[in-house]
Amino acid sequence: MTRLPTILHLDADAFFVAVEQARDPSLRGKKVAVGGRERGIIASASYEARACGVYTPMPTAQALRVCPDLILVSHGLGGYGAVSRRMFDLCETLTPVVQRNSVDEGYLDLGPCGFKTAAEVEAAARGLQRRIWDELQIPVSVGLATNRLVAQIASKLRKPRGFVVVPPGTEAEFLAPLGVGKLPGIGGKTEAALAERGLVLIRDLFARSESELAAALGGGWRELLALARGEDDRPVEVEREDAKSYSQQETFAADIADFAEIERVAKGMVDALLPKIRADRKRVRTITVKVRYPDFSQTAHGRSLEAATDLEAPFYPLIAPLLRAAWTQRRPLRLVSVRFSAVEDATGQLEMFAQQDEKRRQLAAVLDRLTGRATVVRRGHQLAKAPPPDK
């Protein structure tokens, strides 16, 4: 039986921008970026904006300098998750074996579809690409190959709306002329270091002796060489893993040094994250507070509860000590984030010595329902400090 290029990597082109453009078609063909306000970061930029030098992740202020007529859309409206789900639902109409890697990319194994020829596989893949555009107005790039590694490199090769097929047996040939940076695990620094040794293209790797490779690449050189030959036997995995952590961060409009204000913001994150944790029927045990200084250096401090919980109350008293422990430099902060980890499944099992928790849980359930519509109830710590009275 001849092998077919049945592994498909699907990568949406400028996904967040595409969702906004689908919502407001007047944004099409323009220099658009989705990102935070002035001090935030660009999450996604249209190809027109990229042509002006906007990239991700780039601080918004810098993006506006290189591209003054950039149209900035905040992620306010959201809805990205819903579009992503519909996109992957369309993928699942083609094959049940769909691995959702992130909101905008994933792998499909078309093996179970029973295609007989490469042409059939290609036609089905093109059909999917077209359907995602027709139904969702989301442009996607597609790579087809015999394994995940090559399919993924192929899909990113001719963005946007790329469609690259690597016929079986030509994987090494396909990779040879590409830059070494295309291989997973080779980041900017490694790439630069390799370039200094004259290793620029993937094919350059094969011109070197084992000892030279070991010196240039370190202990993992054999694995890297296998990747360079286009070898990869990882299957497309359907099981989507549950969230391993929940986190939120906020970049301040101006660096701030007011402890109480930062504590208020961090507690607000606790208030924002726990409803999500409850909605997912999970519990969390560990909280980590991270602070970032204006020069982007950062420190974090975490603490675990004795038992996992889905309530805000046990975490409130930890915020101030963790913030104090993380914020050691006497400098204002650019950003603060709160992360919950050690996630467990919540059970409906009621506890005996925690009747207070049960009452809090009932209250939380009511608040969750109310705040699902609008912010009608706020906790005291969510209120901003009143301006100082005039003297």
Partner 1 sequence: MKFKINRDHFSNGLAQVLNVVGSKATMPILSNVLIEAEKDCVTFTTTNLDLGIRARIKAEVKEPGSVTLPVKRLASIVRELPNLDVAFDASPNHHVKLSSGGSTFKIMGIGREEFPPLPELGDENSFSLDQATLTTMLQSVAYAQSSDETRYILNGVYFSFRDSKLTLVATDGRRLALISKEMDVAADRAGSIILPAKTVTELLHMLNKGTTLKIAFNERRATFQIATDKDTSGLLDSIYLYSKVVEGNYPNYQQVIPKETQQRIKLERELLLACVHRASLVCSEKANSVRIKLTSNLLEVTAQSPDFGEAHESMAIAYSGPELQVAFNPAYVLDPLRALTKDEVFFEVKDEVSPGVFKTLENFVCVIMPVRLS
CB of 175 to partner 1, least distance (A): 42
375 binds partner 1 (CB under 8 A): no
> With respect to partner 1, which residue has the nearer C-beta, 75 or 285?
285
Query: Of the ranges 124-132, 312-320, 326-334, 344-352, which one interacts with partner 1 (CB under 8 A)?
Result: 344-352
Q: Which position among 92, 135, 223, 351 is part of the footprint of partner 1 (CB under 8 A)?
A: 351
> With respect to partner 1, which residue has the nearer C-beta, 295 or 306?
306
345 binds partner 1 (CB under 8 A): yes
Q: DSSP string covering 179-209, please?
A: BGGGSTT--HHHHHHHHHTT--BGGGGGGS-
Q: Is 343 helix (H, G, I), strand (E, B) or coil?
A: strand
Query: Of the ranges 26-34, 99-107, 147-155, 352-360, which one interacts with partner 1 (CB under 8 A)?
Result: 352-360
342 binds partner 1 (CB under 8 A): no
Q: Whole-angstrom Cα distance, residue 377 to residue 367?
A: 7
188 binds partner 1 (CB under 8 A): no
Q: Whole-angstrom Cα distance, residue 279 to residue 286?
A: 18
- In the residue annotation, 241 being an active-site residue is answered as no
241 binds partner 1 (CB under 8 A): no
CB of 353 to partner 1, least distance (A): 5
If phi over 0 gives left and psi between -120 and 50 gives alpha, with beta otherwise, what is residue 57?
beta
Q: Whole-angstrom Cα distance, residue 216 to residue 326?
A: 37
End-to-end CA distance of the chain: 87
Query: Of the ranges 37-45, 154-162, 345-353, 367-375, which one interacts with partner 1 (CB under 8 A)?
Result: 345-353
Strands, sheet with 282-292, edge to edge from the N-terminal-most edge strand: 246-256, 333-345, 282-292, 298-309
390 binds partner 1 (CB under 8 A): no
Q: Which position among 22, 176, 342, 354 is part of the footprint of partner 1 (CB under 8 A)?
A: 354
366 binds partner 1 (CB under 8 A): no
Set 20, 105, 250, 263: catalytic member: 105
353 binds partner 1 (CB under 8 A): yes
Q: Which position among 26, 209, 211, 349 is part of the footprint of partner 1 (CB under 8 A)?
A: 349
What is the residue whose two structure tokens read 């290029």? 5
CB of 315 to partner 1, least distance (A): 17
Q: What stretches of 3-79 show up as alpha helix (H) in DSSP?
A: 15-23, 47-51, 60-66
> With respect to partner 1, which residue has the nearer C-beta, 69 or 306?
306
Q: Is 216 helix (H, G, I), strand (E, B) or coil?
A: helix
What character string, x for contact with partner 1 (CB under 8 A) and - otherwise, covers 112-131?
--------------------
Q: Whole-angstrom Cα distance, residue 207 to residue 212?
A: 10
Q: Which position among 306, 374, 383, 390 is part of the footprint of partner 1 (CB under 8 A)?
A: 306
- The dihedral sign for the CA sequence 287, 293, 294, 297: negative
CB of 283 to partner 1, least distance (A): 14
Q: Which position among 330, 347, 386, 388 is part of the footprint of partner 1 (CB under 8 A)?
A: 347
Report how far apart, in Å, the C-alpha atoms of 213 and of each of 89, 113, 302 are. Answer: 44, 41, 40
> With respect to partner 1, which residue has the nearer C-beta, 12 or 343?
343
The answer to whether the bond into 388 is cis (omega within 30° of 0) is no
Structure tokens at 125: 């893949």
62-93 burial code (b ≥16 CB/10 A, e <16): ebbeebeebbbbebeeeebeebbeebbebbee
CB of 348 to partner 1, least distance (A): 3
Task: Please give the positions annotated as active site.
Answer: 105
What residue ranges bind partner 1 (CB under 8 A)?
306-307, 345, 347-354, 358
